[in-house]
Amino acid sequence: MKKVALITGGSRGIGLGIAEELAWGGFNLVLSGRSDASEVSESIEHLKHCGAEVLYCVSDVSFPEARKNLLQSVRERFGRLDVLVNNAGVAPATRQDLLDLTEESYDRVMMINLQGPFFLTQKTAQWMLEQKSLDNEYNGVIINIGSVSAEMVSLNRGEYCISKAGVSMMTQLFAARLSAHDISVFEIRPGIIKTDMTNTVVEKYNKLINEGDLCVMKRWGFPKDVGKVAAVMAAGKMPYSVGQVIKVDGGLSLQRL
């Protein structure tokens, strides 16, 4: 029986890059997102051609009822869940100086980037423990998509930085709680990845990358770069590395003189 992976925000960007690698790796997929199914049909068909059975759920995981319904949909369709990838996330709608940051923007980013993933992970972990109690060979995996912004300051998007720092601690907490039950928890920390989230800063980053002032590797990161790392984690090939952070940033975070 094929294993099943749930990827939030899985129909585009980093999520789609992860979904493609997991499809090639033999997983069936559940993708969630806020777009209508008709808007992501091309991505879904592509993943089916990669060998996966795919369920797409319209879901905003920042809401408790949506999280409950999402997991219920997975149960009804596949009856199991082996991998959760917390990928869904947003940047601030408007970049503002730290001294001008509004509570509305802070709350929006926190709900989607941290609170939603935290409580989705909590409910998923409960189900994974249930599956473990029924099958001692079961091994679950939880992958949180963080960001270099967890440790690198951006004064015009402080709420995003704080949310990703929270994801990093969330990873450690669940790793400590679940590792004794053969459920591995990891964080992938991407750097500058070419997605729709970075569309507004392409010119800026092109210049910095080409001049070697940003990354050691003189290129953008791509969703497939993150997907390849997620595939290794999902396949259970890092069983003694629970709670660890893998950076996918082309050397952006390396300290250089």
pLDDT of 199 above 80? no
Residue with tokens 């082309």: 250
What's the CA gap between 31 and 183, in Å, rounded? Answer: 21
- 114 CB contacts (<8 Å, ≥6 apart)? 163, 166, 167, 170
The tokens of 69 are what?
């319904």
124-143 pLDDT per residue, tens: 999 999 999 999 999 999 99
145-167 pLDDT per residue, tens: 999 999 999 999 999 999 999 99
pLDDT of 7 above 80? yes
pTM: 0.96
For 86, phi then psi, to 5°, come to -85, 95
- With cut-offs at 50, 70 and 90, classify the pLDDT of residue 208: confident
Q: What CATH fold (topology level) applies to the domain 4-248?
A: Rossmann fold (3.40.50)
Mean pLDDT of 93-115: 97
What's the CA gap between 1 and 63, in Å, rounded? Answer: 31
pLDDT at 67: 98
pLDDT of 120 above 90? yes
